[in-house]
Structure 1
Amino acid sequence: MATYAIGDVQGCRDQLSRLIDRIHFDPTRDRLWFVGDLVNRGPDSLGVLRLIKNLGTAALAVLGNHDLFLLAAAEGIVTLRPKDTIDDVLGADDRPELMDWLRKLPLLVHDQSALMVHAGLLPQWTAADAMQLAHEVDEALAGPEYREFLRDFFHASLPPWHPSLTGRMRRASVARVMTRIRSCTPAGEMSGFSGAPKDVPPGYVPWFRIPGRRSADTTIVTGHWAALGLQLKPNHLAIDSGCVWGRYLTAVRFEDRAVFQVEGPRPNR
Structure 2
Amino acid sequence: MARYFVGDIQGCYEELMRLLLRVDFHPSRDELWAVGDLVARGPESHKVLGFFTSLGDAAKAVLGNHDLHLLAIQAGLKRPKPSDKLKKLLESKHLPGFIHWVRHQPLMRELPEHKLIMTHAGVPPQWDLPTLREEASEVNKVLMSDTYLDLIGSMYTEEPESWDPDASGFLRHRYCIDALTRMRFLYLDGRLDFACKKPPADCEGLALKPWFEFPSKLDDFTLVFGHWAALMGKTDNPRRIALDTGCCWGEDLTLWHLETGEKITQKKLK
- For normalisation by structure 1, the TM-score amounts to 0.95
| Local SS of the residue matching 2:155 | helix
**Aligned pair partner of 1:220 in 220, 223, 236:** 223
The CA deviation at 1:49 is: 0.4
For 1:143 and 1:188, locate their aligned partners in 2 and report how far apart those are by CA, in whole Å: 31
* Inter-partner Cα distance in structure 1 for 2:22 and 2:158: 44
| Matched residue SS, 1:26 | coil
Equivalence for 1:259: 263
Q: Which residue of 2 aligns with 1:244?
A: 248
1:209 and 2:210 equivalent? no
Native 8 Å contact 1:6 1:251 kept in 2:
yes
Identify the residue that residue 103 of structure 1 maps to in structure 2.
Answer: 103
The one-letter amino acid paired with 1:220 is L
Aligned length: 264
Q: Distance in 2 between matches of 1:197 and 1:44?
A: 31
Instruction: After TM superposition, give the deviation of residue 200 of structure 1 in Å.
Output: 2.4
% of aligned pairs identical?
37
Which amino acid counterpart does residue 225 of structure 2 have in structure 1?
Answer: T
Match of 2:159 in 1: 158
Amino acid at match of 2:258: F
Structure 1 residue 157, shift from structure 2 partner: 5.8
Matched letter for residue 107 of structure 1:
L
- Provide the secondary structure at the position in 2 that maps to 1:261: strand
Report the counterpart of residue 46 of structure 2 in structure 1: 46
Partner residue in 2 for 1:198: 201
Q: After the TM superposition, which residues 124-135 of structure 1 pair with which residues of structure 2 at under 5 Å, given as runs?
A: 124-135=126-137
Q: Is the 8 A contact 1:123 1:187 kept in 2?
A: no
Give deviations 1:107-155, integer Å, cap 9, x for gaps.
000112210000011111113311211111110101111000100112x
Distance 2:203 2:71 in 1: 30
Tell me the equivalent position of 1:183: 185
- Assess if the C-alpha contact under 8 Å between 2:160 and 2:174 holds in 1: no
Question: Could you tell me how far apart the structure 2 residues matched to 1:159 and 1:237 are?
Answer: 27
Cα distance in 2, alignment partners of residues 174 and 249 from structure 1: 27
More divergent stretch after superposition (104-113 vs 78-87): 78-87
Letter in 2 for 1:159: P
1: CA distance between counterparts of 2:129 and 2:203? Answer: 25
Runs of 5+ unmatched residues, structure 2:
none
Amino acid at match of 1:136: E
Matches of 1:3 and 1:152, distance apart in 2 = 35
Q: Which residue of 2 aligns with 1:63?
A: 63
Query: Which secondary structure does the structure 2 equivalent of 1:216 belong to?
Result: coil
Runs of 4+ in 1 over 6 A off after TM superposition: none
CA shift, 1:90, in A, is: 1.1
Residue 229 (structure 1) aligned with residue 254 (structure 2): no
Aligned-CA RMSD value = 1.3
Instruction: Write the letter of the residue equivalent to 2:262.
Output: A
Give 3-state SS (helix, strand or coil) of 1:231's partner: coil
Q: SS of 1:68's equivalent?
A: helix
Distance in 1 (alpha carbons) for counterparts of 2:143 and 2:207: 34
Instruction: Say whether the 8 Å CA contact 2:121–2:226 is kept in structure 1.
Output: yes
Distance 2:251 2:13 in 1: 15
TM-score, length of structure 2 as denominator length: 0.94
Partner AA of 1:239 in structure 2 = L
The 3-state SS of whatever aligns with 2:265 is strand
